[in-house]
Every structure is written in C-alpha cells, then in structure tokens.
Amino acid sequence: MALILNEEQSMLRDSARGLISDKAPVSHLRQLRDSKDETGFSRELWNTFAEMGFSGLLVSEQFGGSGLGAVEAGIVMEEIGRTLMPSPFLATSVLAASALSRGGSEAQKSQHLPRIADGSLLAALAVDEGAKHRPLQTRMQAIRSGNGFKLNGDKALVVDGHTAGLLIVAARTAGSAGEKNGVTLFLVDPKAKGIARERTIMVDSHNAARIVFDSVEVNADSVLGEVDQGYPLLESVLNVGRGAVASEMVGLSEEVFGRTVAYLKERKQFGKPIGEFQALQHRAAQLYIDIEITRAAVLKALQALDADLANAGSAVAVAKARAGTTATLAVQEGVQMHGGMGMTDQFDIGFFMKRARVCQELFGDSNFHADQLARAKGY
C-alpha cells in the first residue's frame, strides 16, 4: 500500500478541512474558553459532524456508520489539530466506537453504536489513575457482588468525562497492578449511584474530568468483552486513540509551523525580514524536516492499525513518540520565533502550545512510547 492518501481519503480531508476551518477556527475555542461554556464544546457543530458522517466514521454500516478505519479517523483528527477544535470526536467516535465495535456483544453494539453514529450519544473512556499514563498499573477495583460487580476507585484525565452519557471503565477483577491478566472493561452509566464527576478545567481549555467511583454497582451485562481478559481489547482501543492523537499533533504542528514561517517572512527587524537570518532559517528547516518525517511515521501507524490491529503496537509507539517530540518542538519554536508577540494571550500561538502539552500526556508521552518500543525489541 502506498504511504500517501488515496483519492477518497483526500476528499475526506478536504471536506473535514472545509467544515472545521470554516465553523471552528481557533477563535471558536477562545470563545468557549472566555464564555466559560458549561459543556466546553458546541453541540450544534457536533450535530453537523453527525450529518456529515464523521461521528460514525468507525461504526460499521450495519449500525448506521460508514465503516471506515484508523487512516480516516486520523484525517479528521489532523484537521481538528489545525484549529484546536474541542470535539467529542476523539472520545466518542474513536475510542468508544472502537471499544464497542471490537469488544461489544450484539446487544451492546445495537444499543450504543447507532446512537454514536447519529451523534446522540457521547461516551468517554476512563483509564488513567495516576499522574502518568500507565494502563498496566490499573488499580481500580471491581469486586464481584451478587449478579454483578462493585466498582471502587478514582479515574483522572477522562476526556469528555463530564458530558458523556456512557463511560467505558477499566478496572481490576483479578490480579494486581502491573499484570495484564485481571483487567476488565465495563460500560457504566455516569448517573449511577456512587459516581462523582468533577470537570477539570485544563491548561488547554479542552474537556476532561476526574471521576470517583464509590461502591458503584453494575450488573454482569455491563462487562465489555471478557471478564479478566480485557487488557488486549483495552490496548487495541488505546492504540487507535494514540494513532488519532498523533494525527492531531501532526495537524497542530503543521499549523504552528505554517504560521511561524509566515511570520518570519512578514516581521522585520534590523531592516529586513527576520526570515533572512540563517539562525532562524536553519531551525525552521529542521522543524519542517521533523514534521515531514513524523507525518510519514503517523500514516504508517494508521495503515498498520487498519491492516493488522493486534500487531500495530510498535508502529503506533513510534508514531506517538515522534508526534510528541515534534509537536513539542514546533510549539516552542513557534513561540520563540514570534518574540514577545508569541507570549501574548491575544495571539493564538499559545493555544497550540497548551494543547500540545496535553496531547503529549494523552495515552502515553514520548518517553512512555520510546520505552514501549525498547521493551518490544528486547532491551
């Protein structure tokens, strides 16, 4: 398969770009932040996403979606990254749709997937517990109780956790932190008794929540996949999410870079455009090269996810690690090369820096993924 977008994929990119750049430029995020919007995203725009078929991109046609893959999800995420649009797309259409499609029973699928596709259901994946992404360290307890389970524990950085109508929660039914065996995924109603949700306003003005589970009762039907054997499913879903976030970072990096190069041509000091100074030219060229190489690595990972999900781990680790370091460099150079202007809130560049920091942490930062690669290679 060629490592470029095919015709349909290019068309998808164009239509996503058209919609997002028109309806949700960076000023859209700024407006949501400044108005302290309760939900942190635009419901109206989400409905448009559904009408255009984006919300059901990964949902099979049988359940009202378009049955596309990680490459297509990445295309939409990249466009989201260009304008930093806050959107349920990642949590609902990528993570939850993948989890349900891959792990769900027929009943679970037919209950939830059509509502994801039509935009009426928002969902969230609750995995992280500590300061860093360590899915294997999942400690949250799910103890058998009657015909079901009782959940106890805390989750953090649950993307869209406060707006979701459905939570997918990773908990331990057996084993201890560090073991793959014993992890189980549950579908949980966020209104269930014992759940406390706190929306956490984050540095990037995107949505996240901390959720406390205090003896939350769920029945046996709420298990997604198999009891004790949820880790491989979780890992696959996370990998699709990592590919998606890596794509978002490619879009973000490229946008920051484009704005910075434009500024280098426009801003004059010492009687000439600052883009004439070789000290800046070489750094700009290095950043361009980094972004191009990262773009290739990310597309490679997305294609690997579609071709053979179970064996895409190393390609995804490479992509997420690269995307993290590239985005970090892009936003730092972006601010630096804008001089004093780059430090102002009035200027958009800072929004990119903030979002890049969050994307780094989401589903494992560059260090985590480089370490994963090293483990996979046996050293």
- Per CB under 6 A, residues contacting ligand FAD are 267, 269-270, 274, 277, 279-280, 336-337, 339-340, 343
**What does 284 bind: ligand FAD, another protein, none (CB cut-off 5 to 8 Å by kind)?**
another protein
Burial class (CB in 10 A: 0-12, 13-18, 19+), 261: middle
Residue the block writes with tokens 């976030």: 245
Residues in 348-377 that interact with another protein by CB under 8 A? 366-367, 369-371, 373-375, 377
Residues 247, 250, 252, 255, CA torsion sign: negative
Residues 185, 39, 324, 309, CA torsion sign: positive
**What does 293 bind: ligand FAD, another protein, none (CB cut-off 5 to 8 Å by kind)?**
another protein
CA angle 45, 116, 69 (to 5 degrees): 95
Minimum CB separation of residue 325 from another protein in Å reads 8
Minimum CB separation of residue 273 from ligand FAD in Å reads 10
Minimum CB separation of residue 332 from another protein in Å reads 17
DSSP per position, 35-73: TT-SSSS-HHHHHHHHHTT-TTTTS-GGGTS----HHHH
Report whether 366 contacts 325 (CB < 8 A).
yes
**What does 294 bind: another protein, ligand FAD, none (CB cut-off 5 to 8 Å by kind)?**
another protein
- Measured at CB, which residue is nearest to ligand FAD? 339
User: Strand, helix or coil at 125?
Assistant: strand
User: Strand, helix or coil at 378?
Assistant: coil
Q: Does 322 bind another protein (CB under 8 A)?
A: yes
Among 145, 181, 286, 344, binds another protein (CB under 8 A): 286
For another protein, the binding residues (CB under 8 A) are 2-4, 261, 264-265, 272-273, 275-276, 278, 281-282, 284-286, 288-289, 292-297, 299-300, 314-315, 317-319, 321-322, 325, 366-367, 369-371, 373-375, 377-379
